Structure 1
Amino acid sequence: MKAQARHILVKTAAEAEQLKQRIAKGEAFDVLAKKFSTCPSAKRGGDLGEVRPGQMVGAIDQVIFKKAVREIHGPIKSKFGYHLVQVVYRD
């Protein structure tokens, strides 16, 4: 099984929630990722590329392989901060 996902990583749940609302109102995920994400993936618009089960931290792995595709999930807490995650595809 593999999937492609993208995410935005920020320091607080409130910041993640704010960005989630901006995406819901039509702002582009990749633009917001480039501007606000603290993950190195920010320069790729939050693109994590193709991942397989077990490659990401547990909480993110669960979202990528168990939650609905194309929806924005989060804020999800990890040891790195708070994530918004979108599964682009999974097969």
Structure 2
Amino acid sequence: MATAAALHILVKTEKEALSILEQLKKGKNFAALAKRYSTCPSGKRGGDLGEFRRGQMVKPFDDVVFKKEILKVHGPVKTRFGYHLIKTLYRNG
């Protein structure tokens, strides 16, 4: 079974996600921005979701983590929870 680990920042609007993405592009720290802006409980851990299996997350999120380039920030990705900026740390399988 494929597993991965990722960080994410979850916000309510695409506009907010794009604003945070701009800060990341300017070199701001992902974990610091997650602690400040993320509405997900993982924000307190710098957006760290830990390790999870394929299929545990909603499909649009899963697709990014298991198919897109690792260590690069992807998004905004819209799900029923809001807009995510996702950084996959590693994946296997």
Task: Give the whole-Å Cα distance in 1 for the aligned partners of 2:10 and 2:84.
Answer: 5
Gaps of 5+ in 1: none
The Cα offsets for residues 31-73 of structure 1, whole Å up to 9 and x where unpaired, read as: 0000000000001000000011000011000000000000100
**Secondary structure of the residue that 1:48 maps to in structure 2?**
strand
How many residue pairs are counted as aligned between the two chains?
91
Equivalent in the alignment of 1:39: 40
Aligned AA (1:65): F
Aligned AA (2:63): Q
Equivalent in the alignment of 1:62: 63
Gaps of 5+ in 2: none
TM-score w.r.t. length of structure 1 = 0.98
- Percentage identity across paired residues of the two chains: 55
TM-score w.r.t. length of structure 2 = 0.96
Task: Give the whole-Å Cα distance in 2 for the aligned partners of 1:46 and 1:26.
Answer: 17
CA RMSD of aligned residues (A): 0.5
